[in-house]
Structure 1
Amino acid sequence: MADKTLLSGSTTLLVLSLLSEGDKYGYEMIAELDRRSDHTFALKEGTLYPILHALERDGAVRGYQAEAPTGRVRKYYRITGRGLRALEAQKKEWRTFTAAVNAVLSGAAPAMA
């Protein structure tokens, strides 16, 4: 399992990425992150919900109540236009960061932009 400190800087990016594919409720996001990452990103509710609440305050996501197919009322989250712009900016930052880390690990100099 990966060091949790590596995950802390990327959770907002991961959550926005999931929501860019469609509306989801909290547990659905936790399960999807866990599945897609082969259990590397096993977020707890206590980690996810503060991120969602901060994104809501920033206007990047909007929460709403809706009935799930099971008949249970759940709080779903939807990414906004502001959230999509933030996602694109964070993706760009992530690509720059990972390229730099990979260059250091490989002993190569990064390509000049």
Structure 2
Amino acid sequence: MSKQTTEILKGTLEGIVLAILAVQPAYGYDITARLREQGFTEIAEGTIYALLIRIEQRGLVDVEKIPSEKGPPRKVYSLNARGGDYLDEFWKTWAFLSERIEQLRRHIEQPLEEGD
């Protein structure tokens, strides 16, 4: 993963994880697996666990401990109303930024195409 990709991902990973939880509650390893299925193959589990602690402390998720056959209980995270509001704002911000970046890209590429 390039440094540029890593930096952009740092700013968006919280919203991405909340979007995953909006679909279905999940525990840390499951979230990591879902991210990898979506092509985010280089995200470390430790990164996800640290992020889950932060969003739990900020009150964006509810946490339920579920017994596990393979060790201690799992913490299953689900999006709550406050997290849903945060996710809505994330999508609005993402739409705004992606539209502006795409406009800029088209504006820059257009003179290049006219000069061909």
Scaled to the shorter chain, the TM-score interval is 0.7 to 0.9
Q: How does 1:20-99 map to 2 (within 5 A)?
A: 20-36=22-38, 38=39, 40=40, 42-68=42-68, 71-72=69-70, 73-99=73-99
* Letter paired with 2:16: L
Partner residue, 1:111: none
- Length-normalised TM-score, structure 1: 0.83
Q: What is the aligned-residue RMSD (CA, Å)?
A: 1.6
Counterpart Cα distance in 2 of 1:101 and 1:56: 31
In structure 1, stretches of 5+ residues that fail to align are 109-113
CA contact (8 A) 1:66 1:75 kept: yes
CA contact (8 A) 1:33 1:42 kept: no
CA contact (8 A) 1:60 1:82 kept: yes
Report the number of matched residues.
104
- Length-normalised TM-score, structure 2: 0.81
* Letter paired with 1:98: S
* Letter paired with 2:6: K
Counterpart Cα distance in 2 of 1:107 and 1:34: 34
Partner residue, 1:17: 19
Q: Which runs of 4+ in 1 moved over 3 A?
A: none
Partner residue, 1:5: 7
- Percent sequence identity is 26
Partner residue, 2:113: none
